[in-house]
Amino acid sequence: MMISDRVADTGGRPSGFDYMRIVLALVIVIFHSTTTSYGSAGDWVWWNTPAKPFIRLLLPAFFALSGFLVASSLERSKTLISFLGLRVIRIYPALAVETLLSAFILGPLATTFTLGAYFTSPLFFSYLLNVLGDVHYALPGVFLQNPHPVTVNGQLWTVPFELLCYISLAALTVLGLRKKRIIAPLATVASIVGFVIAKAIKYHGLFPVFDTALSGPLLVSSFLAGVTIYLYRDRIPWNIRWMGCSAVASILLLGVIPYGEYLAPIPAAYFTIYVGLTNPPRVGLLRSADYSYGVFLYSYAIQQMVCGTFPWARHWYANILICVPLSLVVAAISWRFVEKPALGLRGLVMRLDKRFSPQHYTPELVELAKRPA
């Protein structure tokens, strides 16, 4: 069975991806329970245990499944206008709301500054740039005494790389990706080789060993690997042996083999796509909602607020017991009142696409566009 056959068997909407997204998001909340409870040293609890390769797999898996699903969205989009428009309404409304809530509600409640000093601080205005994907972590006087001080929303560091993924896919489309799918695997390999060369130049040929989360450029490589698997879905088998080999290779590359992370995006992507294409019955809220993005956006700030407000909760188990349910509740509110209504703008995106795409221009409009301003 090819991956394309498996996609067809699931009606084009395999539930495995839905389960993966929410599970990965919740595991990241659990991972951050040590960081927000004990500070940066809490991270090393994970990196010095057998759990390290599994933790390192979380973000490549997120980006690989995103690549697979976004490539499907690109295929359904007539033009880049509709493709990028759909990405905007999925990402930016919730990101903007989270940024504004942090800046105008969480910040004033948690700051040690006077409100006048808070709202006139350069840190306040720079934090608002998060709305544009220009990530800033600090708000004036907020969480200064937390175990992991200053940082309001630590996991936003991946947002610029997620945006880079979409821009890269759009650029590859301009270069002819729709007609020449070979561009995708070449871009995947080129992104890895380019990152290796950049590291070699930066460290003068002496590669330091990084045993923590994968660097952002390798997450982009994971995304491109997911895109490649989607485009070659008619040639790549959906095979449990391949999945087993990919899982073992991913664990070895991320946890045992030095510098293995440079090659890990490829087997990690196959493992992720295989699991995502499983199709267990959707239960409960998974039938009609996707809380994973809301959990991702809000959970870290919730954990920081809990640790800052209730010092007795600065234990990993208390952090998890309090913050996982809170994150799900806030994610549900985000889905109901922000993300789902934003997705209702798809009709507007399609109308704009029809209006401004070159193939829809009339001869009169083409001649008008040629006139000097």
Encoded amino acid at 69, one letter:
L
Residue 265 contacts residue 225 (beta carbons within 8 Å)? yes
> What is the per-residue pLDDT for 122?
96
- In angstroms, rounded to a whole number, what is the distance separating the alpha carbons of residues 261 and 212? 10
What is the tens place of the pLDDT at every residue in 107-146? 999 999 999 999 999 999 999 999 988 999 999 999 999 9
Whether the pLDDT of residue 22 is over 80: the answer is: yes
DSSP string for 160-219: HHHHHHHHHHHHHHHTTTTT-TTHHHHHHHHHHHHHHHHHHHHTTT-PPP--SSPPHHHH
- In angstroms, rounded to a whole number, what is the distance separating the alpha carbons of residues 104 and 371? 47
Q: Which pTM value belongs to this model?
A: 0.92
Instruction: Name residue, tokens 């991913």.
Output: 250
Among residues 207, 300, 271, 338, the alpha carbon closest in space to that of 65 is found at 271
- pLDDT above 70 covers what percent of the chain? 95
What is the tens place of the pLDDT at every residue in 218-248? 999 999 999 999 999 999 999 999 999 999 9
SS3 labels along 41-101: HHHHHHHCCCCHHHHHHHHHHHHHHHHHHHHHHHHHCCCHHHHHHHHHHHHHHHHHHHHHH
What is the tens place of the pLDDT at every residue in 45-92? 788 888 899 999 999 999 999 999 999 999 888 888 889 999 999 999
Residue 177 contacts residue 184 (beta carbons within 8 Å)? yes
**Eight-class DSSP state of 151:** B
Residue 195 contacts residue 161 (beta carbons within 8 Å)? no
CA distance to 142, 261, 330, per residue, from 192 (Å) = 38, 10, 37
Phi, psi for residue 208 in degrees, rounded to 5: -70, 155
